[in-house]
């Protein structure tokens, strides 16, 4: 059936039993059984899709996991307490002294922090690779996992997923992917060769900015160690969160269509605005990653990044603070539009000069695109007024400068002054 139909009708087994259109929310710590044989079967570890104890899920949890597995065109799904919990579970089970993990540069900041501050100190060799790297040349006999996020979290580079999977599988190495940006609506990760696909369902899949949840999909074999790790570490999701996510899943196709249309409209408008040097969005035919995006994705809902012309910290602050429809926050994928300075975690300690382009990430919500463009236009105007005032102050000081010394010439707003 079409994906729109699947999202409405999948995983409603317990709803029918309750004579309800929605699945019932089952909260319990203790699962009870009709017989000793049923109890032994549940505790055997051979059954993955029915309750055995509240920590590993109730019927509500398993309804969501069945729906997501079907949605992702694979056998199995694990719901975790957050997107990061799903990522760290997949990385942890493939790590350890003597293990080598390849990670795409530009991954979600906390993913890199976990690699740098947990995996590497515990003996795992983590190597970051660029979007244009030849992965086959980086694989070793000790490589235990290739982990990729496409596009890159802030800088939006695209990775050639089929080529990466082919190279890794030739060496018997599994590939995990943070597929949050595309969701299975726009990115069929397993069809492209991904073994373990990870989604921060906090974002588009839930869509209401009111919960934290991770979903991991793949075959039973691919997820066996991840499932064991989640059982032992207690990182499974709560039933309330799963119930809310099922609610969001039903409308995902409609919301993604709207997000995509609005994101493209705003991104195209930004391309022609003074002070915007580049729009980093693979769905634009001017983007370097456009051909890869078109070959691997069926759509793009965002978020995306823009590069502002170099400006002072005051001018940049005025731009951010003058936005009224874009909230300043670190998430995305919800109904509301968001803005965030796009500085990777490992570079945030470095000072930004007035000669450095500013990267800003936007999530385009469900508001009217003309309203959002009007809000951005006002903020860009405020930034330019501050920049012009700064340039005027520099002009007044010009007589005391020795313009024969190149180090005294500053580049402001594309002009040398």
Sequence-distant (≥ 6) Cβ neighbours of residue 232 within 8 angstroms: none
Sequence-distant (≥ 6) Cβ neighbours of residue 166 within 8 angstroms: 193
Beta pairing class for 76-80 and 214-218: antiparallel
In order of 79, 132, 166, 192, the CA distances from 198 in angstroms are 10, 23, 19, 14
203 flagged as catalytic: yes
Cα distance between residue 290 and residue 332, in whole Å: 22
Identified catalytic residue from 178, 195, 287, 375: 178
Give residue 206's Cα distance to chain centre: 13
41 flagged as catalytic: no
Cα distance between residue 130 and residue 291, in whole Å: 17
Cα distance between residue 365 and residue 86, in whole Å: 25
Identified catalytic residue from 12, 108, 227, 255: 108
Which of these, 210, 129, 201, 144, lies nearest to 175 by C-alpha position?
144
Q: Are 13 and 63 in contact (CB under 8 A)?
A: yes
Q: Are 178 and 87 in contact (CB under 8 A)?
A: yes
Identified catalytic residue from 55, 140, 348, 395: 55
Identified catalytic residue from 12, 52, 203, 384: 203
Sequence-distant (≥ 6) Cβ neighbours of residue 269 within 8 angstroms: 369, 373, 376
Structure tokens at 245: 């996510």
37 flagged as catalytic: no
User: Looking at the DSSP assignment, which residues form a beta bridge with residue 411?
Assistant: 416
Structure tokens at 24: 């019932």
55 flagged as catalytic: yes
Largest CA distance in the chain: 93
User: Looking at the DSSP assignment, which residues form a beta bridge with residue 249?
Assistant: none
Q: Are 62 and 51 in contact (CB under 8 A)?
A: yes
Sequence-distant (≥ 6) Cβ neighbours of residue 377 within 8 angstroms: 273
Q: Are 229 and 91 in contact (CB under 8 A)?
A: no
Catalytic site positions:
55, 108, 178, 203
């Amino acid at each position: 059936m079409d994906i729109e139909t699947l999202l409405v009708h999948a995983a409603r087994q317990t709803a029918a039993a309750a004579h309800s259109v929605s699945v019932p929310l089952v909260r319990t710590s203790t699962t009870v059984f009709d017989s000793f044989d049923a109890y032994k079967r549940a505790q055997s570890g051979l059954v993955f899709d029915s309750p055995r104890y509240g920590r590993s899920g109730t019927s509500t949890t398993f309804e969501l996991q069945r729906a997501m597995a079907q949605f992702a065109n694979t056998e199995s799904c694990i719901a975790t307490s957050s997107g990061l919990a799903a990522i760290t579970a997949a990385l942890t089970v493939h790590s350890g002294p003597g293990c080598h993990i390849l990670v795409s540069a530009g991954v979600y900041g906390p993913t890199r922090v976990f690699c740098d501050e947990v995996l590497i100190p515990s003996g795992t060799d983590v190597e970051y690779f660029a979007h244009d790297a030849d992965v086959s040349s980086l694989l070793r006999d000790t490589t235990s996992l290739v982990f990729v996020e496409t596009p890159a979290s802030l800088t939006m580079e695209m990775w050639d997923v089929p080529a990466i999977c082919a190279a890794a599988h030739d060496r018997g190495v599994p590939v995990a992917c943070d597929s949050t940006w595309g969701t299975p609506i726009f990115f069929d990760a397993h069809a492209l060769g991904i073994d373990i696909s990870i989604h921060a369902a906090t974002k588009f899949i839930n869509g209401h900015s009111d919960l934290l949840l991770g979903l991991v999909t793949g075959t039973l074999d691919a997820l066996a160690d991840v499932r064991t790790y989640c059982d032992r570490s207690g990182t499974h999701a709560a039933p309330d969160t799963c119930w809310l996510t099922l609610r969001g899943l039903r409308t995902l196709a409609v919301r993604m269509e709207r997000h995509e249309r609005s994101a493209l409209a705003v991104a195209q408008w930004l391309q022609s605005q003074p002070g915007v040097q580049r729009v980093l969005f693979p769905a634009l035919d001017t983007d370097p990653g456009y051909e890869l995006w078109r070959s691997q994705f069926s759509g793009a809902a965002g978020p995306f990044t823009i590069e502002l012309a170099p400006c002072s910290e005051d001018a940049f602050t005025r731009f951010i603070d003058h936005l009224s429809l874009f909230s300043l926050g670190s998430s995305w994928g919800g109904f509301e539009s968001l803005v965030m300075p796009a500085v990777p975690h490992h570079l945030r300690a470095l000072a930004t000069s007035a000669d450095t382009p500013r990267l800003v990430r936007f999530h385009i919500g469900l508001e009217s695109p003309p309203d959002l463009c009007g809000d951005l236009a006002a903020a860009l105007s405020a930034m330019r007024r501050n920049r012009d005032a700064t340039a005027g102050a520099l002009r007044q000081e010009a007589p005391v400068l020795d313009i024969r010394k190149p180090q005294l010439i500053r580049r402001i707003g594309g002009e040398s002054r």
